[in-house]
Amino acid sequence: MEILKLFSEGGPVMWPLLVCSILTLALSFERIRFWLKINKRQRRVVSDVLNLYRLDNLVAAIDKLRQNIDLPIARIFLAALELERSTPEKFRLALEGETQAELPILKRFQRIFETIVGLAPLLGLLGTITGLIRSFAGLNIGDVGGTKTTSVTGGISEALIATACGMVVAIIALLFTNLFEELYTSQLGLIQEFATQLELLYLDRYEKGHKTYASNK
């Protein structure tokens, strides 16, 4: 009940602030699930695929990737390994192209978080202004302690509550924004590392194939 009372005393800006807070929590929950899924399985899947590919078991490597197609790194590897008559240049372009295609998925909702970080304090400031306007509108020097005193204190309360809520929503959104940005940066580095390992294995296999073909001639 105390929370409902604060919400009602915070004025009209509490509604958009409520929307911002719900969006922040809902999208943060989705992103946390996404990153936990990736970090839990990715290294194991990549290690298995690279070992299979190192042993020239391309079919098993591709099957392993298809079983984990929900992982961005699996889709990146598949784009290169499923190429027909690939060359080193085509292989590299496939890895780079699919990596670029995966970036929006890794940064999903980041713009919304950034918008909330900037919008929530402004909404709080708007609530401060409307609360002060209400206070000054109800201010009457000759009526101190009279019927309009409640309007003045109510306006000040609205201003303080709106400001505090706007700052709280912005702080929470900022924490999640920085967390997901750090996870994105780390993931990008890992993708580049894994893609380089796969490309080196491919080049080694490609060179051996050409040497064998040349010796048979």
**What's the pLDDT score for residue 3?**
77
Helix 149-216 vs helix 72-81: crossing angle, to nearest 10: 30
Give tens-digit pLDDT for 126-149.
Answer: 999 988 887 777 665 555 554 455
The span from the CA of 121 to the CA of 129, in Å, is 12
**What's the pLDDT score for residue 142?**
52
**What's the pLDDT score for residue 7?**
80
- % of the chain beyond a pLDDT of 70: 88
**What's the pLDDT score for residue 35?**
96
How do the pLDDT tens digits run along the chain, 217 residues long? 577 877 888 888 999 999 999 999 999 999 999 999 999 999 999 999 999 999 999 999 999 999 999 999 999 999 999 998 889 999 999 999 999 999 999 999 999 999 999 999 999 999 999 888 877 776 655 555 544 555 567 678 888 899 999 999 999 999 999 999 999 999 999 999 999 999 999 999 888 866 554 455 5
**What's the pLDDT score for residue 213?**
47
- Whole-model pTM: value is 0.85
Give tens-digit pLDDT for 3-33.
Answer: 787 788 888 899 999 999 999 999 999 999 9
**What's the pLDDT score for residue 66?**
97
**What's the pLDDT score for residue 139?**
63
